[in-house]
Structure 1
Amino acid sequence: MLSSLFLATALGAVGSYAQAAASAAAAAAAAEASTVAALRDAPTAVNRLNTLSQDSDFVFDFLNATTGVVTGAAGHLVSATVSNFPAVVGNGMAMTIGFLGPCGMNTPHTHPRATEMLYVVNGSIISGTLQENGARFVFNEVPGGSATIFPKGSIHFQQNNGCEPITFVAALNNEDPGVDSIAQRFLGLPPDIVSATLGDIGVEEVFGLANMIPDNIAFGTDECLQRCGIQRPTQPTNELQPRVSANAFPSSLTASSASATNSKRSLMIDSTEELVGSISRSPVSTQQPVSVALVAVISVLALGYIVMGAIFLMNKRRLSEREAAMYVRQDMKGRSLVLSMEEDVAHFTQ
């Protein structure tokens, strides 16, 4: 009885605390939105300055930020934008600091309203960019102390290619740069549209893929993970596109469908690795065609040798016949092949 009362009291306290925290967060967001609106309405820069009455309003602590933080299994990003740092209003810029763990990847994304210039503080990253249809893919390894640029709207990614944590600093030329995560947004389109775009792979397959997309920052390539001795863990998938009636999956699909898709994917990967890693273990698909080819090659070679042997014997026979025709016995040397009358008489009288 007493324990039940204590449990009920504890649960009530936790619920009240959560409700109070949510209310405080909502109030802070409303106050910040009001400040941003006032800054945008300010007719002059001096008016904007006076709207931010505290000097500390012009400082953003990236190391202890409570807003603008995106966290995944392999690292996190902290962004100072108009949404959480009103001082950038009217200044046309924002900033993101990336803290990438070993093999951590800032997955492919775009900034719809900003160009990004990224500076690598330590370690090195690999980065890639696609700007538009017809443009070539730009790939670089960017060491510490170097910077690279990603044009506005381009699809790009960064991956820590080492086994130690790294940090990068990204400046963006818009106070509201925006982020569009490619995988999550694409697979958040109507499932039949995604299926058709991917060659009619089926809505069930799309359902499975959509539920596999890891949150940013995610673990990167298998090559890096193997080199660093890291086992890819289960990663959170909380950044998926919300579903409404227009992009919803059929009600018949459940989590078991996603599990089945994941299992099929694992089987496909295992089969591919099996085929590539050990051809000899696939007699039906590899050994039989190879054996047939070897038999054909050997047969052709054997036929060639037989023909060559026959030609050799024929030439040898012709040569022997020619030598026999030209042969002259020792006792016939110096003599006429046609006997004279005297030689003929002498021959028969002997």
Structure 2
Amino acid sequence: MEMMPTIFFFFLQLLFFSSSNAAVQDFCVGDLTGPEGPAGYSCKKPAIVTVDDFVFSGLGKAGNTSNIIRAAVTPAFSAQFPGLNGLGLSIARLDLAVEGVIPLHTHPGGSELLVVVQGTICAGFISSSANTVYFKTLKKGDIMVFPQGLLHFQINGGGIPAIGFVSFSSPSPGLQITAFALFANNLPSELVEKTTFLDDAQVKKLKAVLGGTG
């Protein structure tokens, strides 16, 4: 029994030593001159970090919606906003012209939260377990969440341009647009047809529209 106080005191000393010598790092501003790995970017040296690393001014201007989807996404991810590196969050601006659409897509690296600030946006996602669809037309001030990795979409739901801001639970959430993954690459058309049940004419038409080959 006499050993118990000694052992307890030893562990208290060990805990104090470990905690007092642990390095506390307030932030890890991304060094964009190097590659981005699974854990993000390497940290810039503190001596060259400035306040501008923690400020991003790119979301005040509308994105260019003169494209096939009549929509634009302006990201503020760690690649554009290095102060986010390692902090587990990011943001982007959505601009949807009339009839604009953000097609079905996924973010493998993070969940998404949308807030509508102008117009209306019909948004929804599809569950992976039962392919249940959850969608609703959102108006100004409404918020909707899209769980990580699930297919989801946003469509302009009215007669005026719509604007939304989306936050993510990752500084680099990733993006894969389903239509582009299928039809904007060089996967042979016959394989696309077998995996999508579309006929040859439909596949070739979509490849021509989206820039795919094969």
Q: TM-score, normalised by structure 2?
A: 0.72
After superposition, what is the alpha-carbon deviation per residue over 1:45-84, rounded to whole angstroms, capped at 9, x for unaligned? xxx682552212211112478xxx7754323210011222
Residue 208 of structure 1 pairs with residue 176 of structure 2: no
Report matched runs for 1:163-202 at 5 Å. Answer: 163-187=159-183, 188=185, 189-199=187-197, 201-202=199-200
Deviates more, 1:69-78 or 1:106-115: 69-78
Aligned to 1:146: 142
Aligned to 2:17: none
The answer to whether the 8 A contact 2:34-2:41 is kept is no
Considering fraction of residues, name the structure with more strand. Answer: 2
The one of the two structures with greater contact order (alpha-carbon pairs below 8 A, sep at least 6) is 2
Identity level (%): 25
After superposition, what is the alpha-carbon deviation per residue over 1:211-262, rounded to whole angstroms, capped at 9, x for unaligned? 224xxxxxxxxxxxxxxxxxxxxxxxxxx45xxxxxx51xxxxxxxxxxxxx
Structure 2 CA distance for partners of 1:200 and 1:163, relative to 1, 3 Å: closer
1:200 positional shift: 6.1
Q: The residue matched to 1:167 in structure 2 has which SS?
A: strand
Aligned to 2:155: 159
One-letter code aligned to 2:204: F
Structure 2 CA distance for partners of 1:111 and 1:36, relative to 1, 3 Å: closer
Report matched runs for 1:116-155 at 5 Å. Answer: 116-155=112-151
Q: TM-score, normalised by structure 1?
A: 0.46
Q: Which has the larger radius of gyration?
A: 1
Structure 2 CA distance for partners of 1:53 and 1:118, relative to 1, 3 Å: same
In 2, distance between residues paired with 1:32 and 1:103? 36
Deviates more, 1:70-79 or 1:146-155: 70-79
Report matched runs for 1:32-181 at 5 Å. Answer: 32-34=32-34, 40-42=41-43, 50=46, 53-63=49-59, 71-73=65-67, 74-181=70-177
Give the length in aligned residue pairs: 177
One-letter code aligned to 1:34: G
The answer to whether the 8 A contact 1:52-1:87 is kept is no
In 1, distance between residues paired with 2:118 and 2:125? 21
The answer to whether the 8 A contact 1:116-1:152 is kept is yes
Considering fraction of residues, name the structure with more helix. Answer: 1
In 2, distance between residues paired with 1:166 and 1:51? 42
1:33 positional shift: 2.6
**For structure 1, which runs of at least 5 residues remain unmatched after alignment?**
1-30, 43-47, 214-239, 242-247, 250-350
**For structure 2, which runs of at least 5 residues remain unmatched after alignment?**
1-30
Q: The residue matched to 2:118 in structure 1 has which SS?
A: coil
In 2, distance between residues paired with 1:155 and 1:199? 19
After superposition, what is the alpha-carbon deviation per residue over 1:268-295, rounded to whole angstroms, capped at 9, x for unaligned? xxxxxxxxxxxxxxxxxxxxxxxxxxxx
